[in-house]
């Protein structure tokens, strides 16, 4: 058989029906849902008199609108409460797994899928959320869908899909100290642009990617959509299997070995062809900071805010000008001179235990700048929260002046009360710096957890590589 | 879903690249349980000043574009979040078709599920349409999906490509789920060979799991 990519192997294994000139009907192994985009899908299902075909393949959690403050208090936001009640009712009625507000396993859907072992290599995984690409880190084909497609999956456990093109994104060399998976992916998006991956599925590879933990790989895959690709993936390897072993939904003993043998066979074959290839070397990479209103408007921390006049393309020039007006930045300003109002460490991009450890190491024994209004740490899941507390990370953060919260999407999207006020500027470990994303008029700079932590201490961006407690290879 | 065959209407220009779905329907409107009513909040932060006063600087607020049903847009329209509230808002506002040089994948797909036709034209064609729209008040275009052409005055005639399957679904206003369920036998066959229900080896705090 011809050499195949991971994407092609998963695609072919999930074809339910194929007809020339038509999209392919593919089977969906895991359907993840949350309170934000699912109620209309259940309502549609009901209106058509249909049922959930495979409720046991469907997993629901409350994450987008949840308060990260005291979970034991009543929900004060009536609209959010309406969403929670609708989700609970729909799950109960159809027999769909539900992690509700009070579950010990509640958290951001893209955090809990992997940590519970619901996400596994070779699966097709969809969710009404564009950051579903996160799960591709396991060698799964995972992508975000709209509400009509949620309804379609609920009713049929399938989706009609057009096959994507493939792009190999290879990062060779060793990850430099102070440079993280977040900086890898921001560099990639900066190079290809936010529409560079439209129509493609990315596969990340190369020594620097192979050297990442599963959590780092998830950070990269998570932001594939910010480069326009619906899905990003990494071929499964020993790192993947070691992460999965022993997780609640992962097979045990002999069954695990059988699964591993299968998972290993999914990796892209030597010599498999991609439609496009992008190759980078890790030694060119540095900590990154976004300066504009999309994740492709990004530069290295040692750089300056670009002058729109320096852009060759008139469209880019105008977009940059508009972005700088919104961001309240002057061309030529040193990134390190940008001062901040709030710092947010959290989101499905960077709220896992390793993110919190790296940030805690930076802030240990120091204190948040008095110029800051707020520094917030929001663990991605309640499991992460407990793990961090067991390690004493919560104490390190609190002693340094951070607020330590309960799990949820929080200030990444600001659907709860964790928001930026108009004109405020944040350093955020999340994934989108769109206008108004963290609050109307709010100005977001995307960075890694270490960079956010150091910025919180200094009140402005700093090059984490100058700090001795930055992790990574020397 | 309402079929889309041919539509003639007033054209409105939205001349900026990379318009993301957060701009179309901001997060505070993602807490409702229905598909209706998002037209009022479409482009909320651009359209309204504090107190929901119309922002006179926002193009769609200009009286000449009131009642527009054809939207001109720029590259990578609809990037970002998968929220289908974005196309719901577009449709509820009154737009039946969008003309742009490119779209983000998820948004593009979501349009077809809601009876909105996203037409892809070249940058040069879009430049021409923006120019004509701005020059002539009351500028109208006809978008014909059957013929796959956009026509306007002075002999303007642009043909466009669209996937034949999507075209057919939109022309007939077909219910996708119904279409898939025609192949129920295939799905059942696939499940017979491949279906493995999730097993919880370690009990976790989850509701409604059946072992």
Alpha carbon of A470: minimum distance to chain B alpha carbons (Å): 31
In B, which residues are within 8 Å of A313 by CB distance?
none
Contact B82 A130 (CB under 8 A): yes
pLDDT at A188 over 70: yes
* CB neighbour list of residue B161: distance below 8 Å, 6 or more residues apart: B120, B148
Contact A436 B104 (CB under 8 A): no
Per-residue confidence band for A474, with pLDDT thresholds at 50, 70 and 90: very low
Lowest mean pLDDT among A71-80, A191-200, A423-432: A71-80
CB of B50 within 8 Å of a chain A CB? The answer is no
Query: Which among A146, A162, A415 has CB closest to B84?
Result: A146
Q: How far is CA A304 from each of CA A290, A299, A334, A358, rounded to the nearest angstrom?
A: 11, 8, 4, 26
Contact A97 B207 (CB under 8 A): yes
Asked if A460 contacts A338 with a C-beta cutoff of 8 angstroms, the reply is: yes
Asked if B163 contacts B155 with a C-beta cutoff of 8 angstroms, the reply is: no
Tell me the residues of chain B between 155 and 184 that have a Cβ less than 8 Å away from chain A. 163-165, 175-177, 179-181, 183
CB of B195 within 8 Å of a chain A CB? The answer is yes
Task: State both tokens at A152.
Answer: 């379609």
Which residues of chain B have a pLDDT value below 50? none
CB of B49 within 8 Å of a chain A CB? The answer is no
pLDDT at A472 over 70: no
Strand pairing report for B97-100 and A443-446: unpaired
Residue B37 phi/psi, 5° resolution? 90, 10
Find tokens 């910025």 and name the residue: A455
Average pLDDT over residues A205-218: 98
Tell me the residues of chain B between 52 and 81 that have a Cβ less than 8 Å away from chain A. 74-76, 79-81
In A, which residues are within 8 Å of B34 by CB distance?
40, 43
Contact B20 A83 (CB under 8 A): no
Alpha carbon of B125: minimum distance to chain A alpha carbons (Å): 16
| Dihedral over alpha carbons B50, B55, B57, B60 (to 10 degrees) | 140
**In angstroms, rounded to a whole number, what is the distance separating the alpha carbons of residues A131 and A289?**
20
CB of B51 within 8 Å of a chain A CB? The answer is no
Average pLDDT over residues A6-28: 96
Asked if A271 contacts A260 with a C-beta cutoff of 8 angstroms, the reply is: no
Alpha carbon of A88: minimum distance to chain B alpha carbons (Å): 9
| Residue pairs between chains A and B whose CB atoms are closer than 8 Å | 211
- Whether the ipTM is more than 0.90: the answer is yes
CB-based burial label for A47 (10 Å; 0-12, 13-18, 19+):
exposed
Q: C-alpha angle A101/A107/A111, rounded to 5°?
A: 160
Alpha carbon of A233: minimum distance to chain B alpha carbons (Å): 17
DSSP collapsed to 3 states, chain A: CCCCCHHHHHHHHCEEECCCCCCEEEECCEEEEECCCCHHHHHHHHHCCCCCCCHHHEEEECCCCCCCCCCCCCCCCHHHHHHHHHHHHHHHHHCCEEECCCCCCCECHHHHHHHHCCCCCCCEEEECCHHHHHHHHHCCEEEECCHHHHHHHHHHCEEEECCCEEEEEEEECCCECCCCHHHHHHHHHHHHCCCCCCCEEEEEECHHHHCCCHHHHHHHHHHHHHHCCCEEECCCCHHHHHHHCCCCCCCCHHHHHHHHHHHHCCCCCCCCCCCEEEEEEHHHCCCEEECCCCCCCEEECCCECCCHHHCCCHHHHHHHHHHHHHHCCCCCCEHHHCECCEEEECCCCCCCHHHHHHHHHHHCCCCCCCCCCEEEECCCEHHHHHHHHHCCHHHHHHHCCCEECCCCCHHHCCCCCCCCCCCCEEEECCCCCCCCCCCCCCEEEECCHHHHHHHHHHCECCCHHHCCCCCCEC
In chain A the first and final C-alpha atoms are separated, in Å, by 43
Tell me the residues of chain B between 92 and 111 that have a Cβ less than 8 Å away from chain A. 102, 104-106, 109-110
* CB neighbour list of residue A132: distance below 8 Å, 6 or more residues apart: A32, A110, A125, A126, A142, A143, A144, A145
pLDDT at A41 over 50: yes
**In angstroms, rounded to a whole number, what is the distance separating the alpha carbons of residues B47 and B41?**
8
Query: Which among A16, A116, A198 has CB closest to B186?
Result: A16
Contact B197 A57 (CB under 8 A): yes
Contact A415 B81 (CB under 8 A): no
Average pLDDT over residues A42-67: 97
pLDDT single digits (tens) A362-401 = 999 999 999 999 999 999 999 999 999 999 999 999 999 9
* CB neighbour list of residue A103: distance below 8 Å, 6 or more residues apart: A61, A382, B205, B206, B207
In A, which residues are within 8 Å of B35 by CB distance?
40, 43, 147
pLDDT single digits (tens) A288-344 = 999 999 999 999 999 999 999 999 999 999 999 999 999 999 999 999 999 999 999
Give the SS3 label for residue B143: strand
DSSP single-letter state for residue B60: G
Q: C-alpha angle A216/A260/A128, rounded to 5°?
A: 50
Contact A80 B191 (CB under 8 A): no
pLDDT at A161 over 90: yes
Interface test with B, best of A118, A195, A196, A224 (most B CBs within 10 A): A195
pLDDT single digits (tens) A96-151 = 999 999 999 999 999 999 999 999 999 999 999 999 999 999 999 999 999 999 99
In A, which residues are within 8 Å of B27 by CB distance?
413-415, 437
In B, which residues are within 8 Å of A436 by CB distance?
22-23, 26, 45
Query: Which among B31, B195, B210 has CB closest to A83?
Result: B31
Contact B30 A151 (CB under 8 A): no
Of A253, A156, A175, give the one whose Cα is nearest residue A213: A175
In A, which residues are within 8 Å of B175 by CB distance?
48
Q: How far is CA A273 from each of CA A121, A143, A209, A292, A423, rounded to the nearest angstrom?
A: 21, 22, 19, 35, 47
């Amino acid at each position: 058989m011809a050499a195949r990519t991971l994407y092609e192997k998963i695609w072919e294994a999930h074809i339910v029906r194929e007809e020339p000139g038509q999209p392919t009907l593919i089977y969906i192994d895991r359907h993840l849902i949350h309170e934000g985009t699912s109620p209309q899908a259940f309502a549609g299902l009901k209106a058509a008199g249909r049922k959930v075909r495979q409720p046991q393949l469907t997993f629901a959690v409350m994450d987008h609108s949840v308060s990260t403050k005291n979970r034991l208090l009543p929900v004060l936001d009536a609209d959010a409460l309406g969403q929670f009640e609708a989700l609970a009712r729909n799950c109960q009625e159809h027999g769909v797994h539900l992690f509700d507000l009070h579950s010990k396993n509640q958290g951001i859907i893209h955090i809990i899928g992997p940590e519970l072992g619901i996400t596994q290599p070779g699966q097709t995984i969809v969710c009404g959320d564009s950051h579903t690409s996160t799960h591709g880190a396991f060698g799964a084909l995972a992508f975000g869908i709209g509400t009509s497609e949620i309804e379609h999956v609920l009713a049929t456990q399938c989706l009609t899909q057009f096959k994507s093109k493939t792009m190999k994104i290879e990062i060779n060399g060793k990850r430099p100290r102070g440079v993280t998976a977040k900086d890898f992916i921001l560099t990639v998006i900066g190079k290809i642009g936010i529409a560079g991956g439209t129509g493609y599925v990315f596969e990340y590879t190369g020594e620097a990617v192979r050297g990442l933990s599963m959590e780092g790989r998830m950070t990269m895959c998570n932001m594939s959509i910010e480069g326009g690709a619906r899905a990003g993936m990494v071929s499964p390897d020993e790192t993947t299997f070691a992460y999965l072993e022993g997780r609640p939904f992962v097979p045990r003993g002999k069954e695990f070995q059988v699964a591993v043998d299968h998972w290993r066979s999914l990796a892209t074959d030597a010599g498999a062809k991609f439609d496009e290839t992008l190759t980078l070397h890790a030694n060119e990479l540095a900590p990154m900071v976004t300066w504009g209103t999309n994740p492709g408007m990004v530069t290295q921390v040692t750089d300056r805010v670009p002058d729109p006049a320096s852009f060759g393309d008139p469209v880019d020039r105008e977009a940059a000008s508009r972005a700088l007006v919104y961001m309240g930045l002057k061309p030529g300003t040193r990134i390190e001179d940008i001062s901040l109002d709030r710092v947010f460490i959290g989101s499905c991009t960077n709220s896992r235990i390793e993110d919190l450890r790296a940030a805690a190491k930076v802030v240990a024994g120091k204190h948040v700048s008095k110029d800051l209004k707020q520094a917030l740490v929001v663990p991605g899941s309640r499991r992460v929260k407990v793990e961090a507390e067991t390690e004493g990370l919560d104490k390190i953060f609190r002693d340094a002046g951070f607020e330590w919260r309960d799990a949820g999407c929080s200030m990444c999207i600001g659907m709860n009360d964790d928001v930026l006020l108009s004109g405020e500027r944040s350093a955020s470990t999340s994934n989108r710096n769109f206008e108004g994303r963290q609050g109307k008029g709010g100005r977001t700079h995307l960075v890694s957890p270490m960079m956010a932590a150091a910025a919180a201490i200094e009140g402005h961006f700093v090059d984490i590589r100058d700090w001795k407690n930055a992790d990574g290879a020397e | 879903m309402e079929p889309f065959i041919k539509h003639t209407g007033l054209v409105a220009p939205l001349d900026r690249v990379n318009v993301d779905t957060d701009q179309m329907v901001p997060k505070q409107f993602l807490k409702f349980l229905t598909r209706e009513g998002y037209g009022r909040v479409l482009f909320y932060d651009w359209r309204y000043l504090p107190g929901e006063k119309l922002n006179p600087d926002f193009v769609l607020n200009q009286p000449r574009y009131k009642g527009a049903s054809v939207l001109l847009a720029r590259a990578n329209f609809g990037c970002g979040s998968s929220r289908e509230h974005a196309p719901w808002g577009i449709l509820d506002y009154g737009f039946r078709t969008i003309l742009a040089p490119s779209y983000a994948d998820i948004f593009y797909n979501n349009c077809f599920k809601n009876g909105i036709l996203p037409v892809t034209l070249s940058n040069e064609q879009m430049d021409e349409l923006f120019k004509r729209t701005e020059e002539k008040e009351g500028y109208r275009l006809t978008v014909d999906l059957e013929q796959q052409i956009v026509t306007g005055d002075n002999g303007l005639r642009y043909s466009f490509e669209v996937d034949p399957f999507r075209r057919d679904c939109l022309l007939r206003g077909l219910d996708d789920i119904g279409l898939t369920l025609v192949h129920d036998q295939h799905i059942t066959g696939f499940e017979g060979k491949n279906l493995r229900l999730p097993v919880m080896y370690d009990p976790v705090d989850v509701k409604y799991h059946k072992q």
